[in-house]
Amino acid sequence: MSQIKKTPRSRVKRKPYRGDYDFDTVAAVLDAGFICHVGYNIDGKPYVTPTSYWREGDQVYWHGSSASRMLKAQEQGIDVCFTVTHVDGLVMARSAFNHSINYRSVMLFGAAQKVEDEDYKLKVLETFTEKLFPGRWAELRPVTRRELKATTVLHMPIEEGSAKIRNGDPGDDEADYAWPVWAGVVPLAEQAGQPRPCPRLIEGTKLPKYLKPLWRLK
Amino acid sequence: MSQIKKTPRSRVKRKPYRGDYDFDTVAAVLDAGFICHVGYNIDGKPYVTPTSYWREGDQVYWHGSSASRMLKAQEQGIDVCFTVTHVDGLVMARSAFNHSINYRSVMLFGAAQKVEDEDYKLKVLETFTEKLFPGRWAELRPVTRRELKATTVLHMPIEEGSAKIRNGDPGDDEADYAWPVWAGVVPLAEQAGQPRPCPRLIEGTKLPKYLKPLWRLK
């Protein structure tokens, strides 16, 4: 199994047994979501912007308006920290101190690069749409040249970083297991609800099949 | 209604109509969650760390181990960006370009301060527990002096920042409403599942009443 770079920056210091540098583990955490938080500096001050992303191979991608201040800063190749977090449960222990959260997270470090080639940009945007909604790209009104120009796509290699994962039951102090309070895990997961059609939807338009698996979204 | 500071940093530039500087709006977005992403620099490089938080009055609080590299850096009063994001839906338009996400987010800027007074620290930790599980604090094995020392609590005023919110239906180009593809919103929400008791739970321990409202968690 290939490993990603463990560096002074990416090494998990607190509770190092929760750290994981295996590429496949990192990729699995990334593939379970589509919202990341990207950290970067403008004039030496930190910003954290939530945005959508996708992974393909050893790259993560994110995109937005070419007018975006965030993307304009990042496309210069400045340092970024790319973080993805899934909250899986509230871990309720017998003491406040041992309460915790079950989660899967990934932190990646590096510098983003802009996708310059317009054909390649179109291809990776198709990949993003198809990852969320397989089959939808061909059904959509095609992308125009103007729209493509108005969209910036950045990517960054999955090279330096780590996954950090906590799962399982509360870990209480040995003496506390006799304390008479409920303890356990409340699982949490992102769930999709019943799709709400656009009020201007053409009458008789069927709900696409690719929305069905979203009900199993985790 | 009180407003928070609109500055060159906190003003929402892209789609400014999505920006909101009203304190109550910001507070409502903060109160709907308990996981934030805090951005900060160490040696000039950006880091984004997910952590739990709570709000009380005009302050946000977060905490962790006193040994945490993140908290040790932040308690020096360095600049931080505190971001909270709730993903409310996938917005499916007739063109790829007009696809979007419904969300509520808050970005706050400032410098964190450490809660130094031990009694006050204990009080704010109680507030956090009670916000998530009203009534649990009194049931738990009491916090020890050693645990309190091992915990760092930081806080930051809600002073400079903004909320950014998108909701509602897809916004398509006028001509595209005639395009024959399904369009609408797939709602997304964080849901709690059936609590899973700790395998070492004392037999007969009842599920606390304060877990019931979690089934309505949004």
* Cβ contact, residue pair B133, A68, below 8 Å: no
How far is the C-alpha of A9 from the C-alpha of A5, rounded, in Å? 10
Give A-chain residues touching B86 at CB under 8 angstroms: none
Q: Stretch B190-201: mean pLDDT, rounded?
A: 95
- pLDDT tens digits for A131-186? 999 999 999 999 999 999 999 999 999 999 999 999 999 999 999 999 999 999 99
Distance from CA of B157 to the nearest CA of A (A): 17
Nearest CA in chain B to A42: B9
* Cβ contact, residue pair A81, B200, below 8 Å: no
Picking from B11, B100, B163, B14, the residue whose alpha carbon sits closest to that of residue A66 is B14
DSSP A141: B
Burial class (CB in 10 A: 0-12, 13-18, 19+), A44: exposed
- pLDDT tens digits for B30-67? 999 999 999 999 999 999 999 999 999 999 999 999 99
How far is the C-alpha of A175 from the C-alpha of B200, rounded, in Å? 12
End-to-end CA separation in angstroms for chain B: 25
Q: Tell me, what's the pLDDT at A218?
A: 45
This model of the complex carries an ipTM of: 0.95
* Cβ contact, residue pair A192, B187, below 8 Å: yes
B1 pLDDT higher than 90: no
Query: Which residue segments constitute the domains of chain A, with CATH numbers given?
Result: 16-190 (2.30.110.10)
Distance from CA of A21 to the nearest CA of B (A): 17
* Cβ contact, residue pair B50, A140, below 8 Å: no
Nearest CA in chain A to B175: A141
Give B-chain residues touching A82 at CB under 8 angstroms: 48
Residue B121 Cα to chain centre, angstroms: 20
Q: How many residues does chain B have?
A: 218
Nearest CA in chain A to B195: A186
For chain A (length 218 residues), average pLDDT per consecutive 10?
A: 84 87 96 97 96 98 95 95 98 98 98 97 98 97 98 97 97 98 96 95 95 66
**Distances in whole angstroms, Cα of residue B107 to Cα of each of B5, B59, B84, B191, B206:** 12, 13, 7, 24, 40
- pLDDT tens digits for B115-149? 999 999 999 999 999 999 999 999 999 999 999 99
Residues 6+ apart with CB under 8 A from A123: none
DSSP B132: H
Q: Which amino acid is at B206?
A: K
Ordered alpha helix ranges (H), chain B:
23-31, 69-74, 118-132, 145-149
Distance from CA of B2 to the nearest CA of A (A): 24
* Cβ contact, residue pair A87, B190, below 8 Å: yes
Instruction: Compare CB distances from B140 to A82, A96, A103 and report the shortest one's residue.
Output: A96
Distance from CA of A57 to the nearest CA of B (A): 22
Helix, strand, or coil here: B49? strand
How far is the C-alpha of B149 from the C-alpha of B169, rounded, in Å? 50
How far is the C-alpha of B159 from the C-alpha of B171, rounded, in Å? 32
Give B-chain residues touching A129 at CB under 8 angstroms: 96, 99
CA triple A212-A216-A217, angle to 5 deg: 105
| Residue pair B192/A201 in contact by the 8 Å Cβ criterion | no
Nearest CA in chain B to A208: B182
pTM of the model: 0.95
Instruction: Compare CB distances from A205 to B180, B189, B197 and report the shortest one's residue.
Output: B180
B217 pLDDT higher than 70: no
Distance from CA of B61 to the nearest CA of A (A): 16
| Residue pair B197/A182 in contact by the 8 Å Cβ criterion | yes
| Residue pair A1/A22 in contact by the 8 Å Cβ criterion | yes
Residue with tokens 């310059």: A116
Query: How many Cα atoms are found within 13 Å in the side-chain-facing hemisphere of B194?
Result: 1
Residues 6+ apart with CB under 8 A from B40: A46, B46, B47, B49, B70, B73, B74, B78, B79, B80, B81
| Residue pair A169/B128 in contact by the 8 Å Cβ criterion | no
Q: Tell me, what's the pLDDT at A1?
A: 58
* Cβ contact, residue pair A191, B194, below 8 Å: no
How far is the C-alpha of B215 from the C-alpha of A46, rounded, in Å? 36
B218 pLDDT higher than 50: no
Give B-chain residues touching A38 at CB under 8 angstroms: 48
